[in-house]
């Protein structure tokens, strides 16, 4: 892999979160780091850019950086990478920040799984984000769909032909290892420092590890007290794969999409409010702290200025073992982001990946 400024180059293994010193006076002492196989360190708290409107994206990047965020989670499918890139350009030109201070993730969409399309997709994200390299590039879903050229429609979305009489998803038979070999070439070319996967279970991870030349550095999955995924987390720690939790607040990201009931709110479920009151923190901060103490990174999404800072302020307290256990006991193995459910409802296509 090509060396970049700020890359440690060491061979340190995955470790528990450790406090790190600020890179400069602007960086608040509010983040810890998780160490990847490559020696790179990913901040334990990041900002998820899913469902951030394009019109808000550039300003949110600047506001989040000012609040102390150094980890941004992006994706082609979020439909806002050009605007996010405008925010990054302002950070690195007029605002005086250094690219090496930040961890920036993007993701390979389902329609680009054929090996000849992987680099095209990565370079499109790099162009939109106005970056020379990514810190992490992930396979977004273990779902290969028919290729949609960038000049035809971008982001491609889930439906192959929206103008068809019966619009639906159309699949492509591409083995994961073929896609992964192309991902490995991205890292070898220096287009991304690290590569990983999203929404994989232990079986797919085992198969990938058996064939990969470069093992996945990160697994990003839905994870919250209703979906603790204890075995998957333990397996990742055993295999030195950093585990990143999306939707750490559970149902909140899914109310407006009709994928969760407004009455389904982890922030109000006992014992979360009582634990928050005991620590003089918010229920959201307790949920993030629970994730961090499990040894995972978390990527909450918010556009609210107050919550931006609150979501980073999770290192000034510690949950007791009993509190951790009582939160974990809420597990219902309840998944909100399940293609086996939403694809049939939204895209007229049955697409299970977890059963």
Q: What is the DSSP string of 273-342?
A: HHHHHHHT--HHHHHHHHHHHTT-EE------HHHHHHHH--SS----HHHHHHHHTT-----SS-HHHH
Spatial neighbors of 13 by CB under 8 A, at least 6 apart, are 35, 37, 240
Spatial neighbors of 352 by CB under 8 A, at least 6 apart, are 339, 340
Considering only CA atoms, which of 266, 299, 296, 306 is closest in space to residue 283? 266
User: Among 78, 97, 226, 336, which one carries the catalytic annotation?
Assistant: 78
Q: Find tokens 């920040």 and name the residue.
A: 97
Please give the Cα distance from 178 to 182 (Å, whole number).
Answer: 7
Residue 69 annotated among the catalytic residues of the structure: no
Please give the Cα distance from 18 to 33 (Å, whole number).
Answer: 6
Tokens of 297: 């990174």
Cis bond before residue 155 (omega within 30° of 0) = yes
Please give the Cα distance from 210 to 121 (Å, whole number).
Answer: 26
User: 18 in helix, strand or coil?
Assistant: strand
H/E/C letters for each residue in 166-235? CCCCCECCCCHHHHHHHHHHHHHHCCECCEEEECCCHHHHHHHHHHCCCCCCEEEEECECCECCHHHHHH
Please give the Cα distance from 83 to 93 (Å, whole number).
Answer: 15
Residue 244 parent element (H or E): strand 242-246
Q: What is the DSSP letter of 45?
A: B
Which residues belong to the active site? 78
């Amino acid at each position: 892999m090509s060396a970049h400024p700020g890359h440690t180059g060491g061979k340190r293994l995955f470790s528990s979160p450790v406090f790190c010193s600020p890179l400069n006076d602007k960086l608040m002492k509010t983040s810890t780091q998780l160490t990847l196989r490559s020696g790179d360190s990913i901040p334990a708290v990041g900002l998820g850019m899913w469902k951030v409107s394009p019109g808000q994206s550039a300003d949110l990047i600047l506001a989040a950086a000012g609040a102390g965020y150094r980890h941004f989670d992006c994706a082609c499918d979020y439909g806002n990478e050009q605007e996010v890139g405008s925010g990054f350009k302002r950070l690195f030109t007029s605002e005086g920040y250094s690219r090496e201070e930040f961890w920036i993730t993007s993701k390979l969409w389902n329609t680009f799984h054929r090996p000849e399309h992987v680099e095209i997709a990565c370079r499109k994200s790099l162009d939109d984000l106005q970056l020379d390299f990514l810190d992490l590039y992930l396979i977004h879903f273990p779902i290969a769909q028919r290729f949609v050229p960038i000049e035809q429609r971008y982001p491609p979305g889930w439906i192959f032909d929206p103008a068809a009489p019966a619009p639906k998803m159309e699949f492509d038979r591409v083995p994961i290892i073929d896609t992964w070999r192309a991902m490995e070439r991205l890292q070898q070319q220096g287009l991304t420092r690290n590569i990983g996967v999203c929404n994989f279970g232990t079986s797919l991870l085992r198969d990938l590890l058996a064939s990969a030349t470069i093992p996945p550095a990160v697994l990003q999955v839905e994870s919250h007290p209703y979906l603790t995924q204890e075995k998957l987390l333990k397996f990742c720690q055993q295999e030195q794969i950093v585990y990143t939790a999306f939707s750490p607040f559970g149902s909140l990201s899914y109310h407006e999409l009709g994928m969760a009931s407004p009455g389904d709110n982890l922030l109000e479920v006992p014992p979360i409010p009582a634990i928050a009151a005991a620590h003089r923190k918010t229920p959201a901060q307790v949920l993030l702290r629970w994730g961090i103490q499990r040894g995972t990174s978390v990527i909450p999404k918010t556009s609210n200025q107050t919550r931006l800072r609150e979501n980073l302020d999770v290192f000034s307290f510690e949950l007791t073992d009993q509190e951790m256990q009582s939160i974990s006991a809420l597990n219902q193995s309840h998944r909100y982001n399940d293609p086996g459910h939403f694809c049939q409802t939204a895209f007229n296509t049955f697409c299970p990946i977890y059963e």
